[in-house]
Every structure is written in C-alpha cells, then in structure tokens.
Amino acid sequence: MTAYNVMIFGASYGSLLGTKLAMAGHNVTLVCLKSEADLINTEGTRVRMPVKGPRGPMEIEVHSRNLPGRIRATTTAEADVNAHDLVGLAMQEPQYGSPGVRELLEAVADSKKPCMSIMNMPPLAYLKRIPKLGADKLRYCFTDPSVWDRFDPELVTLCSPDPQAFRPPEEKSNLLQVTLPTNFKAARFTSQKHTDLLKVLQKDIEAVRFDSGEGPVEVPIKLKVHESIFVPLAKWAMLLTGNYRCVELESVRSIRDAVHSNLAESRDVYEWVQKVCIGLGASPDDMVPFEKYANAATGLVKPSSAARALAAGAPNIERVDLLVQSSAAALGLSHPVVDRTVAYVDAKLASNRRRAA
C-alpha cells in the first residue's frame, strides 16, 4: 500500500484522526505547542475509545508507539508543508489567526496541497463552494476571515467532526478520551485525484482491526467520503440544537440537557436548520434524522466545548450559531430559539471582552 504523509493542525482533537490514520499505516505530523510536541515525541499519543468486543462493549486504549504508521509532533516554526500529501485542520477557528499559525496556514494555501477541515466552523474557502451561500457576505462570522483569502476553494474540503472526544483534565495532554465513536463524514474535493486520496484513506481505515486480547475487534470512527458537498453540513443542526444551546445567560448546561429538557423545541430547531441546509442545495438524504441525534445526545453529559470556553472567559469562539442564522436570513428564514441562542453567545462574548480589556 501507499503510505501517505498527513499534517494536522492541532494535537487535541487532531490526534483522533491522526491515530486512525496511523492505525491504517499512514504517517501523521501533529502541529501544536512546543510543550505538547515534546510530550508526544517522548511518550507518544494515547486515545481511549469504546468498541464492541467479542463479549460485549469494552474500552480500548490505542498507543501511537504500537501502530504501523508514525505519529510525530512539531511546532508551526518547524513544520514542513511540502513534505506532506494532505493537510488537516483540527484547531478551533479563532486560533488560525495566531502568530505562527497564520504564517503556516498561508504556506499551506500557497503550496496548493489538498486541505481537509475537521472544524465545526467550515473554512470560508469551503463555503465558497456553495453558490447559494454568498460566502463573501459571511466574513463577519469569522474571527479573522482574511486567513482564508489565499486558499483555492477547489483544494479545500470539509469533514464533519461528529465523533465526540475530550482531554481528561486529570491526565497528561497526550491522552484523548472518546465519548461518542461516530464517523468522520468528508465531502469530496472538486478534483477526482484528491478525492481518490481520501477514498484510499477511507478504505485503509475501514480495514483496521485491534487486538483486544480476546481477539481482533473492529475499530469505530471510520472516515466516510461522500459525493455531496452538503453532507458535512448535517452537523449544523446538531450544533444549533445541542452545543450552542448549552449556553444560557447565567450558566452552562450539558448537551444532553440542552436537547432533552425540551425535546419538542429541540426537534423544531433541528428540523429548521435542516430546512436551511436544504434551501442552500442539500438533499434531505444528506441530513441525519433527529431521532438518531437525540438518542446519541443522551450520552453527552458535558457542556459543549464552545460553552466551556465562554464560561472560562474566551473572547472568541467558533460562531456556527451566527453562521447558520446569517445563512438563513439570506433565504428569508429565521427562528426565535436560534435568535435567542445567538443573543446569549453575543452577550457572553461581550462580557468576556470587557473583562479582558
């Protein structure tokens, strides 16, 4: 098989995709802070995930040192874009304007390497692939939209980050705990050549088995490549129904509580966001049924990363809530719960920025 070299911005959530690629025999470079890089290069990465074992559900821990592919880490100053076949974006959107990250992102754009985002917030360059969206009118939804200006939209695709994972605070930063082992769903690139690269990765990841000590087990969290550019936007309904509704005026709540405390309201928001996506050109088949999401949300007992960041005083977060509201407005659509959610996030950001000033 051909072993591809993949560079991924971000060593937290990025280590999940990186681990899957290394399990399939591909080589991964994680771009991160020096302290993280030193730890990963010394001790490797570890990912814990639930699987279906021979005797029922079980948890496995995958260590990068035991994989056929290599995982190493580096800083933005030392990263070599040209040594890689594919670039993954797994940092939070506000981070791409940071010193060092911005310059490396510009090098990625200039290199003309295919680039796959696994951010909740789609890169502005990807949104330009959706004609009805009018991406240039959505620049204000981004912390710094200029970081995407040098990208060719045909070289950027989006992979919906449906798997849920976090770094346990009591563990070292090279460990990632998976709580919802669903699939990464990627849209095709414009070119067949770059799409074929993704399909090779999909096939290789699909074939991976893990020796659990009780026999080989199939490993969850596959990469699924789709022809429709709208499939990753199915995540929008999940984010607006769960993740951003974790944010309340005076507190935060879990995704489970955001969804299940008022299931009728949640369904209404979810189906409205799907209506927005269909208005942009998606097929109903590109979307995920509400019942499937609501069932998965019963296990999401922590507040979303966006809600936790706001509670911790973050002056900027990914604004998918604002992006969806603005995209809907261009279609003549609005929803009072979404408007309320955006207002809550706006208010919390304004408060955090005043405190930081």
pLDDT at 201 over 80: yes
Domain limits, the chain: 5-226, 231-356
Give the least confident one: 152-156, 211-215, 247-251, 266-270: 211-215
Q: What is the pLDDT of residues 95-134, one digit of tens each?
A: 999 999 999 999 999 999 999 999 999 999 999 999 999 9
pLDDT at 189 over 80: yes
pLDDT at 94 over 80: yes
Q: What is the pLDDT of residues 129-151, one digit of tens each?
A: 999 999 999 999 999 999 999 99
- CA-to-CA separations, 350 to 157, 242, 276, 296, in angstroms, rounded: 32, 22, 27, 32
- CA-to-CA separations, 325 to 140, 145, 187, 269, 349, in angstroms, rounded: 12, 18, 23, 12, 17
Distance CA(158)–CA(198), nearest Å, equals: 12
Q: Are 217 and 51 in contact (CB under 8 A)?
A: yes
The per-residue pLDDT for 271 is: 98
212 pLDDT tier (thresholds 50, 70, 90): confident
CATH class, range 5-226: alpha beta
Average pLDDT along the chain: 96
The per-residue pLDDT for 141 is: 98
pLDDT at 1 over 80: no
- CA-to-CA separations, 208 to 47, 59, 95, 163, in angstroms, rounded: 15, 16, 32, 18
DSSP assignment letter at 182: -
Handedness of CA 224, 226, 232, 233 (dihedral sign): negative
Distance CA(126)–CA(124), nearest Å, equals: 5
Residues 6+ apart with CB under 8 A from 90: 8, 9, 10, 12, 13, 14, 17, 118, 119, 161
Q: Are 45 and 64 in contact (CB under 8 A)?
A: yes
The per-residue pLDDT for 58 is: 87
pLDDT at 211 over 90: no
Residues 6+ apart with CB under 8 A from 312: none
The per-residue pLDDT for 144 is: 97
Q: What is the pLDDT of residues 158-187, one digit of tens each?
A: 999 999 999 999 999 999 999 989 999 999
Q: What is the pLDDT of residues 9-67, one digit of tens each?
A: 999 999 999 999 999 999 999 999 999 999 999 999 999 999 988 877 889 899 999 99
pLDDT at 5 over 90: yes
Mean pLDDT of 300-319: 96
User: What is the DSSP pairing of strand 86-89 with strand 5-9?
Assistant: parallel
Q: What is the pLDDT of residues 228-255, one digit of tens each?
A: 999 999 999 999 999 999 999 889 999 9
The per-residue pLDDT for 213 is: 79
Domain 231-356 fold is N-(1-d-carboxylethyl)-l-norvaline Dehydrogenase; domain 2 (1.10.1040)
Amino acid sitting at position 148: W
Amino acid sitting at position 212: S
The per-residue pLDDT for 303 is: 95
The per-residue pLDDT for 71 is: 98
Mean pLDDT of 330-349: 97
The per-residue pLDDT for 54 is: 81
Q: What is the pLDDT of residues 346-356, one digit of tens each?
A: 999 999 999 99
Distance CA(289)–CA(275), nearest Å, equals: 12
Distance CA(241)–CA(263), nearest Å, equals: 10
Distance CA(148)–CA(175), nearest Å, equals: 30
Distance CA(268)–CA(337), nearest Å, equals: 9
